[in-house]
Amino acid sequence: VGARILLVEDDNAIGRGVVQALETSGHEVDWVTSGTAALASAATALPALVLLDLGLPDMDGVQVCAELRSAHPFVTIVILTARTEEIDVVVGLDAGADDYLTKPFRLSELLARVRAHLRRPRLAASDENDELVLGDLVIDSAARRVVLAGAELELRPKEFALLAMLAGNAGRAVTREAIMSEVWDEHWFGSTKTLDMHISSLRRKLGERDGGPSRITTLRGVGYRLERP
Ligand code: CA
């Protein structure tokens, strides 16, 4: 089933290739080449997913990302970046992006990511009324709400899915492969660094500091375990 996708990319060759690949897959694509046009397009017709180049002629892509996220809390934003510095990716994820893809990327990889993001999380289909309580952490899957010590946390869709999966297996090891398969895509062939980024971000939102005690234990070479209180 096709979705409406907003492509923000000022490079003609990349833009043409991505548009063709997405349209061949049945998606409806609105291709714009500037940050201003991207914000205007999203305001006119909300896309299901935004593919956002960070290097734009008129605005910093990170700022475009932040403005899109604040205007449209539930849209999925995937950053396309030629920047290889990890800090740029972190800044992008902090600005509200759900994922990123490093240029150059294969169109097959892009399509796999898009497919993964557009697919509804399995979580939504099961355990509709489950409320998980782990000490002062309450995860309500039906309402997609997370409350920590009485205060609601603002989690991005992937962070929520990740936390819900770990919480559903609290006290047990969850492998990286299982997480990538459940939260991202079962045919994932990209880097799993995005998982580590989301774990770091989740830890920060859970009020944890780098190097301090954590509810989420890293199992080196295996995966992660959310500790029971
Ligand atoms: Ca660019």
pLDDT of residue 180: 84
Per-residue 3-state assignment (H helix, E strand, C coil) for 179-207: HHHHHHCCCCCCCCHHHHHHHHHHHHHCC
Which pLDDT score, from 0 to 100, does residue 199 have? 93
d(CA 166, CA 226): 6
Rounded to the nearest whole angstrom, what is the distance from the C-alpha of residue 13 to the centroid of ligand 1? Answer: 11
* Predicted pLDDT at 146: 92
Contact 138, 98 (CB under 8 A): no
Distance 11 CA to ligand 1 centre (A): 6
Tell me how far the alpha carbon of residue 33 lies from the centroid of ligand 1, in angstroms: 8
- Comparing 20 with 83, the larger pLDDT belongs to 20
Q: Return the pLDDT at 123.
A: 35
Cα 80 to ligand 1 centroid, rounded to whole Å: 9
Residue 76 alpha carbon to ligand 1 centre in Å: 20
Residues in the chain: 229
Tell me the percentage of the chain whose pLDDT exceeds 90: 42
Distance from Cα 34 to the centre of ligand 1, integer Å: 9
Ligand 1 centre and the CA of 67: distance in Å? 18
3-state secondary structure of 80: strand
pLDDT of residue 70: 82
DSSP states along 165-177: HHHHTTTS-EEHH
Report the alpha-carbon distance of residue 19 to residue 25 in Å, rounded.
10
pLDDT at 52: 96
Token representation of residue 71:
């205007």
Using the mean position of ligand 1's atoms as its centre, give its distance from the Cα of residue 48 in Å. 22
In tens, the pLDDT along 50-95 reads 999 999 999 999 999 999 988 887 788 999 988 666 667 778 877 8
Dist. CA 194 → ligand 1 center (Å): 21
Q: What is the pLDDT of residues 33-47, one digit of tens each?
A: 999 999 999 999 889
Residue 52 Cα, ligand 1 centroid: separation in angstroms? Answer: 9
Task: Report how far ligand 1's centroid is from the alpha carbon of 197 (Å).
Answer: 23
pLDDT value at residue 126:
36
d(C-alpha 137, C-alpha 152), whole Å: 10
pLDDT reported for residue 187: 57
Q: Could you tell me the distance, in angstroms and rounded to a whole number, from the CA of residue 54 to the centre of ligand 1? A: 6
Digit-coded pLDDT (tens) for 119-129: 744 333 334 44
> What are the tens digits of pLDDT across the range 172-212?
888 888 888 788 765 555 567 888 889 999 999 998 887 77
Q: How far apart are CA 191 and CA 168, in angstroms?
A: 25
CA 138 to centroid of ligand 1, rounded, Å: 41
User: What pLDDT sits at residue 109?
Assistant: 92
Q: For residue 121, give the DSSP letter.
A: P
Question: What is the distance in A from the centroid of ligand 1 to the CA of 171?
Answer: 44
**Interval 107-165: pLDDT, tens:** 999 999 898 888 744 333 334 446 788 888 888 877 888 999 889 999 988 899 999 98
Statement: residue 228 has pLDDT above 90: no
